[in-house]
Structure 1
Amino acid sequence: MASAPQTQSLPLFYKELIPLSRQDHAKYKMRPPETAPFLANVHAVPVTVEEFPMVQRRMPIVFSVGDDAVPLALMGLNEGVNLFVDDEGKLTDNTVYLPAYIRRYPFLLARLQPESEELSLCFDPSVDWIGEFDDGEALFTDGEPSEFTKQIMQFNEQFEQAGQRTAQFVKDLREMDLLMDGEVSIQPEGAPQPFIYRGFQMINEDKLREMRGDQLRKIVQNGMLPLIYAHLMSLSLMRDLFGEQMRSGKMPQPDAGV
């Protein structure tokens, strides 16, 4: 049996992580889940740069704090609030684009040993839709990965590649000093004080306008500029999410953090 990935902490959603094994999981099948309970109380999910055009239509895109910032799609403005799924984790609107980070769960490519460069397909065994079932998609056929598993592997490989491109995008933003601490103030009618959201990063529009010609040409040629504007345009949706939280009774507290 292969050893579990050597990680100090697990990514968002994952409770456990073990490598998929043809010996241990030869009879395992996956039933497509009808709900995503793991998502019900999650308000921010990582996204890749390729997803910006789809995400920015319905969700604000911000950047996490810290040097290793990642883009995040906001599905709510406060921790524990997700406006796109109900309490059981069922989508309230089937037309909403779900980020790939959500769709890859419970699978994940991980290193089994810290010194290894090879990534192995792993999964979270705590989910109840993978196991030795009579029905569902087989993960192995005649001792070999099934076509279904090969598709999962391909999807995860593409996600990893997209993650590398996203990390480069954020690195370029930081090198050009375009990221700044974000703050959004929303003043509801009749409220004694505004609701202030902090704890995220955003692109500094003033510095973007002041960029030198050679820097501007660079971000036009390498495709960064449309991504930057997708992020900036999406920020107006924070007020839409705020209004939806008010209507649904999921009232945020003043001076909150994203």
Structure 2
Amino acid sequence: MASAPQSQLPLFYQALEPLSSEAHANYKLRPADKAKFVVGQHAIPLTVDEFTLVQRYMPIVFTVGENPVPIGLMGMNEGVNVFVDNEGGFAQNGMYIPAYIRRYPFMLAKLHPDAQELSLCFDPTTDLIGAFEEGEPLFEDGKPSEFVTSVLKFNETFEEAGARTGNFMKDLEEMGLLMDGEVTIQQEGNEQPFIYRGFQMVNEEKLNDLRGDQLRKIHKNGMLPLLYAHLFSLSLMREIFGMQVTQGKMPTPELQLQA
């Protein structure tokens, strides 16, 4: 059976297998109200389409190094996610859940490095898909079910949003708007502050200094609201920190955030 390349698998995925009407004819997706795969994951990839929704719940920052990407912080330290319990249940009813989480265990991937098209795949190690008696059927009469059709559409939309995100990040770098981020939080009762680094953010001073063609560009292409959504969300770092305190998930002082 053909399988997608297994090297450098994205976050959450342990393996990838193309969905097949022959191999998975009787497979179903088991209903689940928990996401155990998110437990302990403090940073989740985002698309620019989500910025205005995510900014209400979690800080939006950018990774360091080559090819930075936007991420939503669900915790201020590695191994900490303040939005899910130990079983993967979401603590806040009605909160926005990033599309990256919602697409699991499916994703579009190339079956071969030189393939021109993306194929709908799933993580075969998940306990959400299998030959179950109950659940959403993946195939009906040898054809993709309506559910699978909707999953495919969702993943296609996600890939399109990913392309827009790539263009957004390219523009940010070309305009030199990214800078190393740092936040210092002083907790009452601790002599040493908690210092978080290891992420990037938009340089607000440079943003305000944009003039001429660059300023017209970010107005025309819709970047400006996204940039301010990111900047407004940064105030939530202290709120996430407070949630860690409340939940007893505090690290030792002076640990760096690894975005």
Instruction: Give the TM-score category using the shorter length.
Output: over 0.9
Tell me the equivalent position of 1:15: 14
**Number of aligned positions between the proteins:** 257
Deviation, 1:128, is: 1.0
* Structure 1 unaligned residues grouped into runs of 5+: none
User: Does the 8 Å CA contact 1:245/1:252 hold for their aligned counterparts?
Assistant: no
Q: Is 1:148 the equivalent of 2:144?
A: no
Q: Is 1:221 the equivalent of 2:207?
A: no
Tell me the equivalent position of 1:116: 115
Q: Is 1:86 the equivalent of 2:85?
A: yes
Deviation, 1:213, is: 2.7
Matched to 1:103, the amino acid is: R
Deviation, 1:225, is: 0.3
Q: Indicate the SS of the match to 1:45.
A: strand
Deviation, 1:18, is: 0.6
* Structure 2 unaligned residues grouped into runs of 5+: none
- Cα deviation, 1:3-44, whole Å, max 9, x if unaligned, reads 111242110001111111111000001112121110011000
Matched to 2:211, the amino acid is: R
Matched to 1:158, the amino acid is: T
Deviation, 1:61, is: 0.2
Normalising by structure 2, we get a TM-score of 0.97
Matched to 1:129, the amino acid is: L
Normalising by structure 1, we get a TM-score of 0.98
- Cα deviation, 1:160-215, whole Å, max 9, x if unaligned, reads 00000001001000000001111111111232111000111100111112212321
Tell me the equivalent position of 1:251: 250
Q: Indicate the SS of the match to 2:207.
A: helix
Q: Hey, what's the Cα distance between the residues in 2 that align with 1:23 and 1:169?
A: 40
Tell me the equivalent position of 1:47: 46
Tell me the equivalent position of 1:208: 207
Tell me the equivalent position of 1:186: 185
Which shows bigger deviation, 236-245 or 7-16? 7-16
Tell me the equivalent position of 1:232: 231
Deviation, 1:257, is: 2.2
Q: Hey, what's the Cα distance between the residues in 2 that align with 1:67 and 1:175?
A: 13
Q: Hey, what's the Cα distance between the residues in 2 that align with 1:147 and 1:238?
A: 40
Q: Hey, what's the Cα distance between the residues in 2 that align with 1:170 and 1:9?
A: 21
**Identical-residue share of aligned pairs (%):** 62
Q: Indicate the SS of the match to 1:202.
A: strand
User: Does the 8 Å CA contact 2:6/2:15 hold for their aligned counterparts?
Assistant: no
Deviation, 1:221, is: 1.2
- Cα deviation, 1:122-152, whole Å, max 9, x if unaligned, reads 0001111211111111100111111100000
Q: Hey, what's the Cα distance between the residues in 2 that align with 1:176 and 1:111?
A: 32
Q: Indicate the SS of the match to 2:188.
A: coil
Q: Hey, what's the Cα distance between the residues in 2 that align with 1:93 and 1:152?
A: 25
Counterparts of residues 85-104 of structure 1 (less than 5 Å): 85-104=84-103
Q: Indicate the SS of the match to 2:157.
A: helix
